[in-house]
Structure 1
Amino acid sequence: MTFDPFNELAGGSALRFDEGQQDDYCLPVASHSPETERLDYLHDVYKYHAGNVPDEVAKLLSDGNQRRILDVGCGTGKWALEMVEAFPDIHITGVDLYHPPITAFPSNFHFEIHDVTKGQEYADDTFDVVHARDLHAGMPEYHVMLVECIRVLRPGGYLLLKEIEWVPKLLDGGDAEQRFPAICERTFRNALSERFLDPLVGINLESYIDNVPGLVDIQYSRHMVPMTPWSDDPILNYTGQMTRMAMAILGGTIRVMLLDHGEPNPDNRYKAGIEELKDLTGQPIWYFGSIIARKQGELRDSEGTTDQYAEEMMTEEEET
């Protein structure tokens, strides 16, 4: 870590602009430190609570075929890097608004700059797995995004989703808003709504997926995560530490967005949240939702090899 989020402001970054218009993603880019660290902390939380992929997908990716994966909004690229190491026969295409903080890409991890709010730039039935995580802060048409993910998914392929619920609670009982009011403040959720974003995608994830045609074998799960390291369980203790650090950073990363929303002094609100995190008692928790689903149809062996696919992607990149 290059800074201490409990003793200095994380700073945030200016709202981005795309073709003269303010874009919908309201947080700093993944390569902007300390946002890189915040996203990597959350990656570990997701991995330890739900795994990088479920068992049935791991089995598919280990079947000896050259499986193709689309990582929508790949962020820092940590999930993709761990995946290509664990499953050497796969090829991942990661897409995001800005380049991830990776200096050298493995041969089976290809990155493209692409605004997925404008649709996917891929042909129908291209990928064996589509992975998307924490897109609610930049996806005004979440339903449309899901439809596009299914379009580019091959019949029988898997869709994997994870989304945060922005509603802290107390496992040990009591009113969370009274116990830590600054952390529970709804200004951030209101600012997301003002930008035509749904801050409750995580809570509504099951209903979103139920309203998308073309999916079968839908599995929805809800995962409880400690907000601080209050648990004696080693995994829960670790994810509580990761959550606490991620939340400390978040207060700074949303600073500019809150100013844009009309918040007169976001720094004071940020400092109040930090003070609560320093002395947060009891058993505070948060949740995230997870979806595993398959596209209708039977998944066949992938055509071509990883090397062939990488060459195709490089050729397309050169032509554009």
Structure 2
Amino acid sequence: MNFDPFNELGGGSALRFDEGQQDDYCLPVASHSPETERLDYIHEVYKYHAGNVPEEVADILNDGTTTKILDVGCGTGKWALEMISAFPNIHITGVDLAHPPITVFPPNFAFHIHDVTKGQEYENDTFDVVHVRDIHAGMPDYHAMLTECVRVLRPGGYLLVKEIEWIPRLLDGGDAKARFPAICSDSFRDALSERSLDPMVGVNLKSYIDNVTALKDIQYSRHLVPMTPWSDDPILHYTGQMTRLAMAILGGTMRIMLLDHGESDPDGRYSAGIEELKDLSGQPIWVFGSIIAKKEGEMSSASDHLIENGDREESE
């Protein structure tokens, strides 16, 4: 399919078009460089701070059964590919608005183009794990999206969610807006709100999850990430570098949406933000929230699971 990452029809509106169909997701497609690089940089951050999956889920994925995973908004597909490499018995279904930059898919990785704002296309109780990461910038009804994820999750299965908080901070307690005015501008959050999107999903992630029925054993954590490589700790230095590289790209990818929002000089703010990212003082940080939750009910035993998957494959 031929994707145009930004189509400026309608006075520069930051909407994407695919063969005449439009969607409200406001950033470029994952297969479009440099967006591919930005998403992969942020993937590294999530992996090093929270892991690709928590230990209790890894234990299930290592038990020898065929575990079915749904990756909602799979982006570049890097998370899915790393998961398949680590857990060869799993099968991942990835869904997104555009094809990921993968030329050859492993046999246990299926990809479908689908707009999840319209719900999931799968039957109830289909997947053992549902993974959701950083898709709030395209979700006008985040609660409905989570409800659909739980619907297609098997009883006892795991829901994994991560979302960024769009509020830069300083670890030393200083005034982040005063020190980094371009980076801390409210324009991006205001532009999301203008599109009936909630820029505070990351901040309110626990509340969103608490209001979804049929979940139990909910674990919520917040992870502080260096915004620049100010830390002497090797891991934090690395994730700070990854963040700085990602943010340098994000300023450009937001350009059309900010113009559509009415910002007169997004390029000037972008340049100012690049300069601010060279400043390591104050230990600038950003935060993402992480959820691990189980669907009510009990997961089938290993033998039942193997039989079920075998019956399903024969029927297909």
TM-score normalised by L of structure 1: 0.90
Cα distance, 1:259 vs structure 2: 1.1
Q: How does 1:256-271 map to 2 (within 5 A)?
A: 256-271=256-271
Kindly report the root-mean-square deviation, in angstroms, between the aligned alpha carbons of the 2 structures: 1.8
Please name the residue that 1:64 is paired with. Answer: 64
Three-state SS of the structure 2 residue aligned to 1:182 is coil
Cα distance, 1:304 vs structure 2: 5.5
Please name the residue that 1:27 is paired with. Answer: 27
Please name the residue that 1:230 is paired with. Answer: 230
2:6 to 9, 13, 19: 13
Please name the residue that 1:121 is paired with. Answer: 121
Aligned partners of 1:127 and 1:296: how far apart in 2? 14
Shift of the 217–47 alpha-carbon distance from structure 1 to 2, 3 Å rule, reads: same
Q: How does 1:160-239 map to 2 (within 5 A)?
A: 160-239=160-239
Cα distance, 1:311 vs structure 2: 8.6
Please name the residue that 2:82 is paired with. Answer: 82
The residue identity in structure 2 corresponding to 1:39 is: L
Aligned partners of 2:268 and 2:312: how far apart in 1? 51
Aligned partners of 1:284 and 1:95: how far apart in 2? 33
| Contact 2:174–2:282 under 8 Å retained in 1 | no
The count of residues paired between Structure 1 and Structure 2 equals 302
Three-state SS of the structure 2 residue aligned to 1:132 is strand
Shift of the 236–110 alpha-carbon distance from structure 1 to 2, 3 Å rule, reads: same
Aligned partners of 1:271 and 1:22: how far apart in 2? 30
Three-state SS of the structure 1 residue aligned to 2:217 is strand
Q: How does 1:238-253 map to 2 (within 5 A)?
A: 238-253=238-253
Cα distance, 1:173 vs structure 2: 1.9
Cα distance, 1:281 vs structure 2: 2.1
Three-state SS of the structure 2 residue aligned to 1:117 is helix
Aligned partners of 1:146 and 1:184: how far apart in 2? 29
Shift of the 305–124 alpha-carbon distance from structure 1 to 2, 3 Å rule, reads: closer
Aligned partners of 1:132 and 1:254: how far apart in 2? 22
Cα distance, 1:172 vs structure 2: 1.1
Aligned partners of 1:234 and 1:264: how far apart in 2? 40
Shift of the 273–217 alpha-carbon distance from structure 1 to 2, 3 Å rule, reads: same
Aligned partners of 2:314 and 2:232: how far apart in 1? 49
Please name the residue that 1:41 is paired with. Answer: 41
Per-residue Cα deviation, 1:239-261 (whole angstroms, up to 9, x for no partner): 00000000000000011111111
Q: Sequence identity of aligned pairs in percent?
A: 76
The residue identity in structure 2 corresponding to 1:120 is: Q
Aligned partners of 1:190 and 1:18: how far apart in 2? 26
Three-state SS of the structure 2 residue aligned to 1:26 is coil
TM-score normalised by L of structure 2: 0.92
The residue identity in structure 1 corresponding to 2:218 is: I
| Contact 1:65–1:89 under 8 Å retained in 2 | yes
Cα distance, 1:277 vs structure 2: 1.1
Aligned partners of 2:179 and 2:311: how far apart in 1? 56
The residue identity in structure 2 corresponding to 1:297 is: G
| Contact 1:62–1:87 under 8 Å retained in 2 | yes
